[in-house]
Structure 1
Amino acid sequence: MAYSITLVICFFLLTICECDQGDWTNHGGDITNRRFQEKEHKISPQNAHTLAQKWRFVTGPFVSATPAIYKGVVYVPTWSGLVFAVSMQGSLVWRVNLTQITGLSGVISRTSPALTKELVIIGLLGPAKVVALKRETGKLVWISQELEETPLAKITMSGTAHKDAFYVGISSDQEVNDTICCTFQGSFQKLSLTTGSRIWKTGMLPDNHGQNELYSGAAIWGSSPSIDEKRGLVYIATGNLYTVPASIQACLDANRTGCFPSNATLCDDAVVALDTETGAIRWCNRLGGGDVFSFICRDRENPLPKCPSQPGPDYDFGESPMLVTIRHRNRWRDVVVTGQKSGIVWAHDRSTGELVWETLAGPGSKSGGAIWGAAADNTRIYTNIVNRDGLNFTLIPSSNVTRGGGWVAMDANTGAILWSTANPTGALAYGAVAISNDVLFVGSFEDAGYIYALDARNGRIVWRGMTNSKQGGGFSVADGCAFVGSGYMPPTTGDSIYAFCVA
């Protein structure tokens, strides 16, 4: 198969750093999905004001994935179908065109690469396939089978590589297509790192056998799966239902309770724990309450015949759980913490799924609420609040009110809100947050592309930078620098990776 790779071997060899800079090996940073760089000690609240652009590498449109980092090299895909490896000094290592290297027409990826010693692994935004490249050269190693064959299936989740396997969820564009909607059912899958072959597949809904007007939806689409090695569990969170059987919908339309059968596997709008070896669901906490929604039904004034009379709020999960250990009732307790588009942040026991605490961090909306990726260090939980609907968002402790987006910190042990900070321009607060050494990195969804560093102890903004395009992605942090892309999708205008470093 013909393929095209631009490779700069000599520079690659010169820029491999033997020091321990701290890697960032998937969207969530590592298998805990905490978006926390524990090895970062150069950036601090005291010197973050000295952050300055060290370099800008132009990739072409658009970079919305959190850059992944391994041994001094930064890896990102673009919305134009390219994958780049760039040294931490800002020079090209290699570049791959996904269409040319895979032979698939017009394919792109928006997922943060999962990195291993040997591989760069990404999912495609349709067809629902996973691609593995040789990390040092960009050469194609394998392409998976089509992991979901229903029309418009895709991969938007940034997967997690662990030991000899790759874990990833499947999503779909069916809910935005009124002629195809809806047969898609979300699933979570484990692939071999060696060959890309599927080891297991676990569905989130009762099988509809490809038929319309039954259970559909429950896409798995955001952030990175977290993995608890001790328990042998992998944790994900799922999307809303697109459709349900007519009898269920009639029950919901009548505002009755108990509409869903208790003996069925229904893991929509849910936090889910699965066995890493078998894919069996260990526990599943549904947190949506009958959230039947698709974008073709968002016009409540002129609904399509197939739409429910009362569509749900679309309060699904656009991020996966984080592994956190907290002090609870005078003992240490392992929990998973997950932010929801409703604005609620949940903490559940890792073994049992028991609810430990919940906090309404800010207003919810179809776009969040919390979305794309919260962060956690050893004392606090951090999340964005998009506030797409411009609702009143009361800040703590000031009691000031904003109708824009913002960022919130919570006590990891209790969920109590410690502080909330408004986006100073009043814009939305899309984009995953990232934490390192008491500095929280966040982005603003506006044309100027403002980015901020906050003192994580009190929420005070200590630095502002600019990327010249809406911020829909998130930061990674290593060796005194914060790395971020620019842009999200058309019609945004971002075209670069940036490195902002302390003096």
Structure 2
Amino acid sequence: MQNILWKASAFSVALTGAVGLFLVHGSGSKASAADAKGSAPYTQWREYGGSPDDAQYSALKQINRSNVTQLKQVWFYPAGRNGFRFGSNPIIIDNVVYVIGLDNSIAALDATTGKQIWIHQTERPQNITNRGLNYWESKDRSERRILFSINNKLTALDARTGETIDSFGDHGLVDLREGLGRDPNSIRQIRSGTPGKIFDDLIILGSATGEEYESPPGDLRAYNVVTGKLAWQFHTVPHPGDIGYDTWPKGAWKYIGGTNTWGEISIDEKRGIAYFPTGSPTYDFYGADRHGADLYSDCLIALDARTGKYLWHFQTTHHDLWDYDLEAGPKLLTVNHDGKKIDVIAEAGKNGFVWVLDRVTGKPIWPVEERPVPKSPMPGEESWPTQPFPTVIPPFARQKFTADEVDPYIADPKERESIRQEILAARNEGLYTPPSTDPTLETPGNNGGANWGSTAIDPSTSTFYVLSKDAPSMLKLEPKPPHFEMRGSPETQGQVIYVQNCALCHTATLQGQPPGVPSLIGIVQKVGADRVKSTVQNGLSPMPAFPDLSDADIGNLIAYLSHPADAHVPPDILTRLEHPPAPRPSLEPGVTTRYWTGYGYMNSSDGLPAIGPPWSTLTAYNLNTGKIKWQIPFGGVTRLEEKGITNTGSYWPRGGVVVTAGGLIFGGSKSDSTFRAYDKDTGKVLWEVKLPAGPEGIPAVYEIAGREYVIISARPDSDKVVSAGGVAPKEEDESAGANTTQETQGYYVFALPE
């Protein structure tokens, strides 16, 4: 078996010349391609993350430490009714901002005023690449395209008009479910919420496969941006003959899913290398059907961006049983190491570790140790005996939750003690305690650590920034019950479906586990049956898709969610459904019981994490030394601040920060509805504004006619929303079905006074 931690290909990495993708788009602008090509690095925001290397950095410095307090909101664009998720990172080409708009439409806006230039309405039900868009143009600028995925299909629009390009794919659509070695009609979810990357005439994509048994594999793919034809494909669950095939059971590629890049991709344009962070294999928390290290799950993978050929990989978790995905964009920078400059790649994970590797070889620049970890007690499971640990770079998140660390601000002493006893009784043997049928504590948690959009760099100082959260989970594996048939009304049948598939996370009373697992009380009335059906079929991170539920099952489920009081499942059957008997061990070789668990988010009754604050932090690393420069709580919680409780950090921030040459870090905290500017060298807050909605996603920084702008998306939060500071005008157009109350979800744009 090859080295499962780090491996480089036999052929060399081609050190090609600079590709030069500094292109521009003009919508009534006099800017030329030559102007864009000659632009200084990091001075435009033409793609998600700001640049091909996903730096989340801007070299603009008109807005700086000395004047940031003068920032004022200059325009707002409403983009409400986008379902449960928003957090879109706009792209700016010349004087045009492209965004995800109202009802998941695509909109082009004047970058200085916010005035709508065109809008492209998308089809329902809408499951869209909601975090951003891709832009491409031909060398002579005769072709200019916006590319995104919706309802598991890749599509292209004319960037000047918003019209679908019929010659792309099959009348403007490429079915992303095809070519994965599964029946396309069986694939409920494959489109990622994160856009891909443009390189030459290719769009390079990851995917969101879902988290359940029978999910499709997360193959990495590139399509021609002109024709829509598949250019290359890399199997993240290796096929026979592929490197890594021997790290799985024979034929695993036929049934294993996941191992996907649902987060961000980075590209080294000079070398023509694309870097992909991958997630865990399915099923996330039980791997008896996938004995082995499971390449290429939980890996950084380097591929030739033009051909998809394997260059190297580095695996951060072997045989993942904790859902310790990598999804933050790999950051490319140059560091001073042992007296010489080295081009490196830095990646932060859900488990709280930072990995720093040589960008060309994939070899760690500081030693990584394989250390013994606890063995799984689950039947049929073969957990990996060791896991990799960085030896120099300290973790940015807490990796253990003890009984003495329960949130002291929980009002009820009995509840605090109950959580404390729950922790004392749980299996809690450190970062890699394998889940079992006994309660098992997981910290930072399967939705903790670093997530999408959560890292940024300052290339001038070799500083790496990580926005992270501590969100412990309590896992408890149970046999997945067989489908139970029951006669009765649609509501009654729907209650059975709910108890078997949904109650583990959303609770038997539909109340959910805020903030990560929303309440489903009145959900159909709030968002509509189509949206609920789409979410169940396709998933919505962190919720998995449920591909084994038929249309009839989902219809009954919607009936129950609409009128739960009309369901009449007998109490004895409910008890059997909620506590199914343990199945007998299988006598057939290779056949195992399917175990599953909810995500187990450990929250108190007030909806906040059960662990004491800070719940989210912003950490700055000096990657020349591997040491932490500073760490601060990131944001707060409005209802706690009203009681004088500060520096708690936001709960469950969604998105990340942007660093600028003006000495600033811009980022938004959803749970206190505040957009802030920090000093990038100290973490000190220099400016803040309360918005009428909770900021989320990655800010974008751009310049038009010598004036610098900062834009952030925001949506209403379940916590108290403070409507001071930011200005969201009332939506008057009732004919469009808009709310007559104040519209707050959308894009807030700031600049210095003219």
Hey, what's the Cα distance between the residues in 1 that align with 2:251 and 2:670? Answer: 38
SS in 2 for 1:419: strand
2-structure distance, mates of 1:371, 1:244: 17
Letter of the 1:13 partner, please give it.
G
Distance in 2, Cα, partners of 1:242 & 1:79: 34
1:483 partner letter: I
Alignment of 1:260 with 2:343, yes or no, is no
The one-letter amino acid paired with 2:452 is: W
Task: Report the residue type matching 1:411 in the other structure.
Answer: N
How far the C-alpha of 1:472 sits from its partner, in A, is 3.0
What is the match of residue 195 of structure 1? 227
Deviations 1:291-337 (CA, angstroms, capped at 9, x unpaired): 1xxxxxxxxxxxxxxxxxxxx22211122212111111111111111
Residue 214 to residue 191, structure 1, CA distance change in 2 (3 Å)? closer
Partner residue, 1:459: 683
1:11-38 Cα distance to aligned partner (Å, 9 max, x none): 9537979897932122221111101112
Q: Please, what TM-score do these two structures have when normalized by structure 2?
A: 0.54
Q: What is the deviation of 1:67?
A: 1.0
- In the other structure, the counterpart of 1:166 is 203
Partner secondary structure for residue 69 of structure 2 = helix
Does the 8 A contact of 1:37 with 1:435 survive in 2? yes
Aligned-partner SS, 1:49: helix
What is the aligned length?
440
Matched, 1:430 2:511: no
1:164 shift after superposition = 1.2
Give the superposition deviation at 1:203: 1.6
The aligned residue for residue 64 of structure 1 is 87
CA distance in 2, matches of 1:275, 1:411: 29
**Equivalent residue letter for 1:37:** S
Q: Is residue 413 of structure 1 aligned with residue 422 of structure 2? A: no
Contact 1:154 1:173 in 2 (8 A): no
Contact 2:202-2:224 at 8 Å conserved across structures: yes
Q: Is contact 1:119-1:134 (8 Å) kept?
A: yes
Assess, with a 3 A threshold, how the Cα gap between structure 1 residues 466 and 489 changes in structure 2: closer, same or farther. closer
User: 1:389: how far off?
Assistant: 3.5
Map of 2:669 onto structure 1: 444
Change in CA separation of 1:162 and 1:130 when aligned onto 2, cut-off 3 Å: same
Assess if the C-alpha contact under 8 Å between 2:72 and 2:752 holds in 1.
Answer: yes
RMSD: 3.1
Q: Displacement, 1:367?
A: 2.0
Q: Which residue, 267, 278, 285 being the options, matches 1:227? A: 267
SS at match of 2:452: coil
Q: Supply the distance in 1 between the matched residues of 2:223 and 2:632 (Cα, whole angstroms).
A: 41
Asked if 1 retains the 8 angstrom alpha-carbon contact of 2:52 and 2:269, the reply is: no
Give the deviation of 1:210 after TM superposition.
10
Deviations 1:40-95 (A, max 9, x none): 12111221122221111112234411111111211111472201111122211111
Identical columns (%) = 24
What's the offset of the Cα at 1:185?
0.7
Q: Aligned in 2, Cα 1:488/1:213: closer, same or farther, shift over 3 Å?
A: farther
CA distance in 2, matches of 1:454, 1:134: 38
Q: Aligned with 2:451: secondary structure?
A: coil
1:375 to 452, 456, 480: 456
TM-score, normalised with respect to structure 1: 0.80
SS at match of 2:228: coil
1:323–1:424 distance in 2 versus 1, CA, 3 Å: closer
> How far, CA to CA, are the matches of 1:56 and 1:450 in structure 2?
16
Q: In 2, distance between residues paired with 1:46 and 1:420? A: 23
Say yes or no: does 1:325 pair with 2:334: yes
Q: Structure 1 residues 116 and 122, CA, compared in 2 at 3 Å: closer, same or farther?
A: closer
Q: Give SS of 2:28's match.
A: helix
Equivalent residue of 2:666, what SS? strand
The structure 2 residue matched to 1:126, chosen from 138, 148, 151, is 151
1:422/1:353 CA distance change after superposition, 3 Å: same
1:85 partner amino acid: A
SS in structure 1 at match of 2:365 = strand
Relative contact order (C-alpha < 8 Å, sep 6+): which is higher? Answer: 1
Query: Which residue matches 1:474?
Result: 698
Cα deviation for residue 211 of structure 1 reads: 8.0
Sort the Cα spacing of 1:371 and 1:488 in 2 relative to 1 into closer, same or farther, 3 A.
Answer: farther
Q: What SS class does the counterpart of residue 26 from structure 1 fall into?
A: coil
Return the alpha-carbon distance in structure 1 between the equivalents of residues 634 and 335 of structure 2: 29
1:249 pairs with 2:288: yes
| 1:385 has 2:468 as partner | yes
Q: What pairs up with 1:311-350 in 2 under 5 angstroms?
A: 312-350=321-359
Structure 1 unaligned regions, length at least 5: 1-10, 176-180, 252-258, 292-311, 392-400
Larger relative helix fraction: 2
Seen in structure 2, the aligned counterparts of structure 1 residues 368 and 13 have a Cα distance that, compared at 3 Å, is: same
Say which SS state the counterpart of residue 98 (structure 2) adopts. Answer: strand
The structure carrying a bigger strand percent of its residues is 1
* Distance in 1, Cα, partners of 2:681 & 2:80: 37
Equivalent residues of 2:635, 2:669 under 8 A apart: no
**Matched position secondary structure for 2:696:** coil
SS at match of 1:288: coil
CA distance in 2, matches of 1:472, 1:227: 24
Aligned to 1:355: 364
Give 3-state SS (helix, strand or coil) of 2:175's partner.
coil
User: Deviation string for 1:215-237 (max 9, x for gaps)?
Assistant: 321121112x2222333211010
- Segment drifting more, 329-338 vs 60-69: 60-69
- Letter aligned with residue 42 of structure 1: Q
The answer as to whether partners of 2:657 and 2:666 remain within 8 angstroms in 1 is yes
Change in CA separation of 1:55 and 1:245 when aligned onto 2, cut-off 3 Å: closer
CA distance in 1, matches of 2:197, 2:289: 39
Select the residue among 310, 313, 336 that pairs with 1:281. 310
CA distance in 1, matches of 2:99, 2:278: 25
> In 1, distance between residues paired with 2:45 and 2:78?
21
Residues 325-364 of structure 1: per-residue CA shift (max 9 Å, x gap): 1111111111111121112221111111101245311233
Partner of 2:747: 497
Structure 2 runs not aligned, ≥5 long: 1-25, 138-142, 178-183, 240-248, 367-389, 399-443, 474-601, 603-611, 637-647, 722-742
Whether the aligned pair in 2 keeps the contact of 1:336 and 1:347 (CA below 8 Å) is yes
1:209 is displaced (CA, Å) by: 11
How far does residue 487 in structure 1 lie from its aligned partner after superposition? 2.5
Aligned to 1:4: none
Alignment check: 8 A CA contact 2:78 2:102 kept: no
Is the alpha carbon distance of 1:490 and 1:213 closer, same or farther for their aligned partners in structure 2, counting shifts above 3 Å? farther
